[in-house]
Structure 1
Amino acid sequence: MDYLVKLYQNAFLEPLSVAETITIRKPIGTEKHVVLDWIGAQFNQRWQSEAATAYSRHNSLFIAVHDKEIVGFACYDGTAKGFFGPLGVSEFAREKGVGKQLLRKTLNAMKEAGYGYAIIPTNSEDYYRKYLDLIEINGSEKSIYHDMVG
């Protein structure tokens, strides 16, 4: 199912008032292979492909780094313009706010790039509902991924 998130009116996107414990940033060119290999090993090749596309288009890929190790990633515009995701966090870093920080940073980047809405294709809407007001897109059960090969 796909969901819309209003980027122009969303309290979640306001700056954090506490210090962030994880560094969220865009990878630089010399890190590209390391980041993409990590995504493929931690998650799957489809997410690796989406991240590679997001990186190549506008470097709309973010990584979460802790002690010089990647612990998560998120991107947008990997599959289609306006699409958020995927979002992935290593087992070590789950339940520590890393996903929340990646989500905030990536959605803010979309807002700054001029998007009024983000489309989130997900089967994990409960996770996103903790932070965002999701608007279900009727008829999007198959999403943009409905006719993939492989």
Structure 2
Amino acid sequence: MTRAPDAPHPDLSAVPDAELLRLDHQVCFSLHAASRAFGGFYRQALKDLGLTYSQYLVMLVLWEDGPQPVKAIGRRLHLDSGTLSPLLKRLEAAGLVRRERSREDERSVLIELTHEGARLRDRALSVPRGVLAATGLSLDEVLGLQKVLGRLTNALGKTADAG
């Protein structure tokens, strides 16, 4: 059931039922297995930084975009505030971020890097280089994979939103 990226969509009615339910033909399982492998890699790669993968993602947003309201971080990472709030509290306890109520809107909490959080960026530069090396893929292959996964995420998000 695999096909070239530019090949036309297969007529699934032509695929035998026994083939449709094979585990190794499930895209979701391939993504799940890859996600678990990445999780294991990132646990090791981030250990020296003292970050979990989710904390690393928050730090990436802050390093890239600067101070952000919690809601903006949640939108960017596709995380709800119930997941994000405890994570931000742990980053604050570690001295990497500061949480401050917005002066304009008391309901909004602004997250900004501390000096220590900003300095951690230099040490984190080794992580993406290590990921690329660990994948065994070329930079072009990784960028192509990101593009395909972005299209997949958008398509499935639209399907979920419509349902």
**Normalized against structure 2, the TM-score is what?**
0.28
Highest Rg: 1 or 2? 2
More strand by share: 1
Q: Which has the higher contact order (CA 8 A, sep 6+)?
A: 1
More helix by share: 2
